[in-house]
Amino acid sequence: MPPLVAAQHRAMPFTRLTDCGMDPADARRLLTDTTAGIPWPDAAAAIADTQLERARSAQAAGHHATARQAYRFASAALMFAQMAYQNDTPEKRELYARHTAATAALAPGVERVEIPHRDGVLGGWLSLPATVPPRATVLVWGGLSGWGAAYLALADAYTARGLACLLAEGPGQGESRLRHGLYVDEHVTDGFARFVDLAEADPRLGGAIGVQGVSFGGLFAAHLAAADPRVGAVVVNGAPAVPAVPEFRTAREQMAAVVGSDDLGRVAEVMDSLRFDPDKHRIGCPLLLLHGGRDPLARHEDQEPFLRAADPATSAVRIWPDGEHTLYNHAAERDALTGDWFSDVLAGRATPKR
């Protein structure tokens, strides 16, 4: 394969495509079509178009469960379509807007939330369990490329356990960045704390609040857990404690887009400010660290500072020796484990007020 296509296949393998919601048949088609020479965003968007037509036809026929399934598959395909663009091009913005619209079609099962922050708006998706009130609320976010509704399957696992789940798009992520111009900076933790404010203010959400960060987002989750006493538990999955500007061009472009600057000096400055130092940042709530032994982006030693910052009596580590980055290849077991852990740790706990 050409180098670009090979890189896309490494970054978005079958396990990641299905973990983040694509129909397995669609995932195989995407990898096959791009191997055959169809550009990644075109191939993924074509798959989404097919699912959207399926959704509309099912809806017109009164087959609402089928329509919801197709909208979810379309949402996932559009999420991966926009990932082909590292920079915030008009094409990327359009594809992500289409992804957001497909996800919004899942209402009322998935509810769009928007929070004013600085001069923009932070977005997210709220899923509520059948049990009212929820046993607790978990806030989840991704990292540099996978955001918000990429984790709908995770939200399903949590709501099945009586937990409310808010899939956040913080600064530098999703519509918060692409539409509202909110980027990662030295005060990014303040942006993620706004989702804790929302969980506290919503009368439908009861119990304690947990946070979970996936990939680079695990660093944001750890910082928030260390800074905000309202966080009752934290899961870190595949995050570096000491971020750095990558040597590879595409990865540098991705990080620059998150920061909103092409100045690599500025990008390095922001990354240095996000260094997690266990001597300065103490995590007072229970911590669960997840790691895959085959993760090429975050080694176990890269995540040890999070453990050193937490109480050994209330922290735990789960390692899958064959696990890929963020455990794409153990998705169902991973989500069951974290769902049960949050249920056990947060149940019955009150959320401290500021």
Residue 154 has pLDDT above 90, yes or no: yes
Contacts with 165 (C-beta within 8 Å, 6 or more apart), sequence order: 126, 127, 137, 138, 139, 140, 154, 155, 158, 159
Segment 159-179 shows an average pLDDT of 97
Residue 80 has pLDDT above 90, yes or no: yes
Residue 7 has pLDDT above 60, yes or no: yes
Fold of 107-348: Rossmann fold (3.40.50)
In the prediction, which pLDDT does 352 show? 56
Mark out the alpha helices in 135-180 (DSSP H runs): 152-159, 174-178
Residue with the bigger pLDDT between 300 and 246: it is 300
Residue with the bigger pLDDT between 250 and 138: it is 138
In the prediction, which pLDDT does 350 show? 58
Identify the band that residue 252 occupies on the pLDDT scale cut at 50, 70 and 90.
confident
> What CATH number does domain 1-106 carry, 3.40.50, 1.20.1440, 2.30.30, 2.40.128?
1.20.1440
Instruction: Report pLDDT digits (tens) over 193-239.
Output: 999 999 999 999 978 999 999 999 999 999 999 999 999 999 999 99
Residue 354 has pLDDT above 60, yes or no: no
Residue 353 has pLDDT above 60, yes or no: no
Segment 156-165 shows an average pLDDT of 97
In the prediction, which pLDDT does 206 show? 77
In the prediction, which pLDDT does 351 show? 59
Give percent above pLDDT 70 in the chain: 98
Q: Where are the domains of the chain?
A: 1-106, 107-348
Mean pLDDT of the chain: 95
- Alpha-carbon span 231 to 225, nearest angstrom: 6
Query: Could you tell me the pTM of the whole model?
Result: 0.95
- Alpha-carbon span 150 to 82, nearest angstrom: 12
Identify the band that residue 248 occupies on the pLDDT scale cut at 50, 70 and 90.
confident
Q: Where are the beta strands (DSSP E) in 118-169?
A: 120-127, 136-141, 163-169
Segment 37-54 shows an average pLDDT of 98
Q: Residue 26: which H helix or E strand, with range?
A: helix 24-35
Contacts with 86 (C-beta within 8 Å, 6 or more apart), sequence order: 250, 253, 254, 257
